[in-house]
Chains A and B, each alone.
Chain A
Amino acid sequence: MPDNPKRRDLLGLAALWSAVAAMGTALAGVMRLPKPAVLPGPLRIYKLGDPAQFAVGSATRMEAGGFYLFRGEEGFHAISSTCTHLGCVVALNEGEGFACPCHGSRFRTDGSVSAGPAPAALPWLEIALSPDGQLQVNAETQVPKGTRFRV
């Protein structure tokens, strides 16, 4: 019976591609490692103390939380100070709104973009009163612009 080279080719190729597939699968399994399963990070809910300490008409920079707390006639609101462009921290200049030091984005006092590369407005953050009577800002949760918190 003559040798069948085609069959041998097929078997050889099958073996080769099985080996490649096995190695590929193993590699894919191992390379899952750098993708974190758990994203560690601090809890971003901040207690700010007695609401009465913030005067009406005041704007307070909360460095640790990364937001500004405003108190107006209608109540409290908090605006994130993390630039929506590339994550620098914007600073509030009285009467001018927010300015970003890294790439020149400008935001109005309500957080909306007035100039520069920022793709979105600065988010407003959720405010609540904690059970112990402190003002509490949740920097993980956004609320629609214009939402005020009344004590």
Chain B
Amino acid sequence: MTPAKEFLENLKRTPQNLRESMLRNGKAPESDRERSQSTFHNFFLHLQSVRVHRHSLRFGYTFGLGLILTASFVVLTFTGILLMVYYKPGAELAYDSVKDIHFVVPAGRFIRNIHRWAAHLMVLAVFLHMARVFYTGSYKRPREFNWVVGLGLLVFTLGLSFTGYLLPWDQLAYWAITIGANIANSPREVTDAIGITVWFDPGRFQKQLLLGANYVGQEALIRFYVLHVAVLPLALTALMGVHFWRVRKDGGLSRDESLPAPPARIGDADVAVFAPNKTYGLMAVVRGRTPEVDRAPEGTVASWPNLMWAEMAAFLFTIAVTLVLGYFFDAPLKEMANPAIPENPAKAPWYFLGLQELVSYSAFMGGVGIPTIVLVGLGLIPYLDRDPRGVGVWFGGPAGRRTFWQSLAYGLLSVLALLVFTVNFGWLRAWFPAIPQIAIIVVNPATVIVALYAAWSLWVLRRTASIRLSAVALFTCFLAGFIVLTAMGSIFRGPNWHFYWWPSQWPTH
């Protein structure tokens, strides 16, 4: 072959060779071995395990919530970068640039709407995901630490939502930053009450760090912008990587080992003839109770294509939901920030309204104290409940199911009773005008409800002698409290945070 001919021949084959060199495993897999290779020969696919247990693919077990979370984060990153093209993080410019995105930029309104709805979906899914993991006992050994990582992801998700709705610099944004910075300042309520603020003032330090100034303005906006577009997404991405990695290293999704595997799906015929080759054998040797250790691929199917189908379904669902919502419903944009007058009532987005109801009892307890107690309590669950039974079983069985319903009733009734009492009779300050603030910080509706829930959980512990059931009781109570307080803040609070049965009863002026 002459050099010229060889050159032409190579040129002709370049597309095919490029494709093969790029994909490493270019053709559609036909055997189980090739399916495994399709997964681990590809940088993006090798994040997944080669084989996946059939239980992990059951929709009724996970509801695809982790995948929906991942998908909404991808949607948010994509639309967020697009929004950054036009958004200007300046106190004088931000509001107008968001108006431009809404009215002028091609598809800008649609993309901003999608970004907003995907954020709502992500917050909703992160709560549901946590509840799913909790009620199926999936935090138990060896998955304890991944539960803690998940709590970090919850905090970062809420942080991203909070910093995100500040950026339009409308009335919601301005007053949310003001309130947020003052919640960071609220340890002062305690240091003032015990008279040590002169020597020890963590509140002021935190507020300064957030605002960068003595007032809410440009310095604060740029700080929240940096948090929203760089610090928190990077932290979230890193933690997500750890979360996924631990899911695999801890043996895949939790499952009830006593149940028979559900019916076979695509690629199942190969299971019988599948013989792990060297590469797969090496990949299967991992610490802990993995599906592979001494049980080989029993009950598992190839990730390609089974897991890929599930992932595609979750991504399509997320994209479809956000597209439809984004098409029909606009993301809110209030009037331009006005430092002189807040809206009345000034309400946060739904996921913070429970918190807003709590801070309406005590800034420190509602904004710092109880969230810290809840987070620490959640983080301790897997280290206190070491009973290995009931992993992968909803509520851990009939006893847990009973405890769940009882605790739900108790949690709902006690928080409702307390709210009815507070709305009708007020609280300590109304009865004893001269009462010291420290008494209100310690005894207010928020701390009373936490104490009632803790008492119930301890009673369940005493009665059943099961830490798991007591954890179910406490988690369910807090879930009930969260739902009721969120509803209270969203629906039943009107101007001046007064109680109203319905927004149509709000005074017009």
Question: Known: A41-B215, A66-B340. Is A115-B181 also a contact (CB below 8 A)?
Answer: no
Interface string of A78-101 (1 = CB under 8 A from B): 000000011111010000000111
Complex Cα gap A45–B241 (Å):
52
Residues from chain B with a CB closer than 8 A to the CB of A114 are 429-430, 433
- Name which of A21-29, A32-40, A122-130 contacts chain B: A32-40
Q: B341 contacts A39, CB within 8 Å?
A: no
Asked if A117 is at the interface of the complex by the 8 Å CB criterion, the answer is yes
Interface check A120, CB cutoff 8 A: yes
State A88–B356 Cα separation when bound (angstroms).
13
The answer to whether A101 touches B360, judged by C-beta atoms less than 8 angstroms apart, is no
Q: Which A residues between 114 and 140 are near B, CB-CB below 8 angstroms?
A: 114-117, 119-120
| Docked-complex contact A86 and B497, CB < 8 angstroms | no
Given A41-B213, A99-B496, A101-B496, does the pair A115, B208 have CB atoms closer than 8 Å?
no
Flag if A120 contacts B192 (CB, 8 Å).
Answer: yes
How many whole Å from A16's CB to the nearest CB in chain B? 25
Q: Is the CB of B497 within 8 A of A119?
A: no
Inter-chain CA distance A41–B213, complex, in Å, is 6
B182-A36 in contact (CB<8A): no
Contact: B215 with A42, CB < 8 Å? yes
Query: Is A113 part of the binding interface, using a Cβ–Cβ cutoff of 8 Å?
Result: yes
Chosen A-B contacts, 13 in total, with CB atoms closer than 8 Å, are A41-B215, A85-B359, A87-B179, A88-B346, A101-B344, A102-B179, A115-B430, A116-B497, A117-B366, A117-B440, A119-B193, A119-B363, A119-B437
Chain A residue contacts of B193, Cβ below 8 A: 119
In the bound complex, what is the Cα–Cα distance between A37 and B359 (angstroms)? Answer: 30
Closest chain-A Cβ to B180's Cβ sits at a distance in Å of: 9
Distance in angstroms between the alpha carbons of A40 and B52 in the assembled complex: 57
Known: A35-B205, A86-B179. 11 other contacts (CB 8 A): A35-B209, A36-B208, A39-B214, A41-B214, A86-B186, A86-B367, A101-B344, A101-B346, A102-B345, A115-B427, A117-B363
Counting chain B residues whose Cβ lies within 8 A of the other chain, the interface size class is 35 or more
* Interface assignment of A150: CB less than 8 Å from any CB of chain B: no
Tell me, in angstroms, the Cα distance from A81 to B361 when the chains sit together.
20
B292 interface hit (Cβ, 8 Å)? no
Chain A, interface size category, equals 20 to 34
Q: Is A64 touching B429 in the complex (CB atoms < 8 A)?
A: no
Contacts of B183 in A (CB 8 A): 86
Closest to B216 in A: A87
Write out, one digit per residue, whether chain B residues 423-436 have a CB within 8 A of any chain A CB (1) or not (0).
00011011001000
Q: Which 3 pairs of residues, A with B, have the shortest CB-CB distance? A: A104-B497, A41-B214, A101-B344
Most buried by B among A35, A86, A114, A120: A86
1/0 contact string of B214-246 vs chain A (CB within 8 Å):
110101000100000000000000000000000
Which residues of B are at the interface with A, using a C-beta cutoff of 8 A? 175, 178-179, 181-183, 186, 189, 192-193, 205, 208-209, 212-215, 217, 219, 223, 339-346, 356, 359-363, 366-367, 426-427, 429-430, 433, 437, 440, 444, 493, 495-498
Quick check: A103 and B360 within 8 Å, CB to CB? yes
Partner of B189 from the list A40, A99, A102, A119 (CB cut-off 8 Å) is A119
Asked if residues B219 and A88 are in contact (CB atoms below 8 Å), the reply is no
Contact B214 A86 (CB under 8 A): no
> In this complex, what residue of A is CB-closest to B499?
A104
- B359, A87: Cβ atoms closer than 8 Å: no
CB distance from B38 to the nearest CB of A (A): 42
A90 to chain B minimum Cβ distance, whole angstroms, is 9
Residue of B nearest to A42 (CB): B215
Q: How many angstroms between the C-alpha atoms of A102 and B348 in the bound complex?
A: 10
Chain B residues closer than 8 Å to A120, beta-carbon distance: 192, 437
Bound-complex Cα distance A40 to B215 (A) = 8
User: Shortest CB–CB separation between residue A37 and chain B, in angstroms?
Assistant: 10
Minimum Cβ distance to chain A for residue B280 (Å): 39
Residues of A within 8 A of B342 (CB): 88-89, 101-102
Cα of A102 to Cα of B497 in the assembled complex, Å: 6
Q: How far is the CB of B74 from chain A (nearest CB, A)?
A: 30
A9 within 8 A of B: no
Q: Which residues of B contact A99 (CB under 8 A)?
A: 496
Instruction: For B359, give its contact among A39, A41, A64, A86 (CB under 8 Å).
Output: A86
**Which residue of B189, B223, B440, B498 is within 8 Å of A104 (Cβ)?**
B498
